[in-house]
Amino acid sequence: MRIATHAGSWYSDSSRALESQIKSSSDGLPNVPNPTLKYIIAPHAGYAYSLSTAVHAYSHIDASTIKTVFVLGPSHHFFLRGCAVDQFSSLQTPLGQLQVDVNIVDSLSNLKGFSVVNKQASEDEHSIEMHLPLLKFMFKKENVKVVPIIVGDFNETMRDQIASSLLPYFNDEVIMFISKQCRIHSLFSPLTSAISE
């Protein structure tokens, strides 16, 4: 299990306080989940700075239609060529554990543009972890699985390889993607072009 290494600093490690904070940030937001939503952009800073914006993005998710969530976050602590997955089967949050879709992770780890990071590298990185309590809160009654992907540097050739690897999942109606606004967007331009074609 991946430990929630940033709980207690970047966000509360108290389940009661954290749930209250998320609920408070949800107050006043329209309850209009979009069952066709495939991709949201949400920040991954400390909750004191980013929670209200992130909750607004998450409020559009229809949790009843999603079975797997890909969470893409940039690498802040080590140089990474392409994308990387880790080998955890579950992810700790103060609100309870999330399960990893290990079958998808195993498949991705064998594809061009993907590598596997070690335990320390995964637990040092905050960009994916910041989404996990929100996912647990949003999907607390659903059996959702997570595919965490750390995103590094890539050229156009590698970008296209990664996009091709993700495209089958992007087209699956029970899978959605979450990322932060950054150069990760270039990963999805081939996907959107392919879908329109």
CB 87 within 8 A of CB 57: no
In a domain, 188, yes or no: yes
**Domain-embedded: residue 6:** no
Q: Is 5 a domain residue?
A: no
Q: Which residue has the tokens 């392409």?
A: 82
Question: At 138, which amino acid appears?
Answer: M
- Three-state secondary structure call for residue 141: coil
Query: Does residue 7 fall inside a structural domain?
Result: no
Model pLDDT, residue 79: 76
Across-strand partners of 83? 114, 151
In a domain, 138, yes or no: yes
Q: Which domain holds residue 137?
A: 15-196
CA distance 28 to 96: 26
- H/E element holding 149? strand 145-151
In this prediction, residue 188 carries a pLDDT of: 47
Which parts of the chain have pLDDT scores under 50? 182-191, 194-195, 197
Q: Which among 10, 150, 149 is positioned nearest to 79, based on CA atoms? A: 150
The reported pLDDT for the residue numbered 88 is 94
Counted domains in the chain:
1
Q: What is the CATH number of the domain that holds 67?
A: 3.40.830.10
Q: Is 74 helix (H, G, I), strand (E, B) or coil?
A: strand
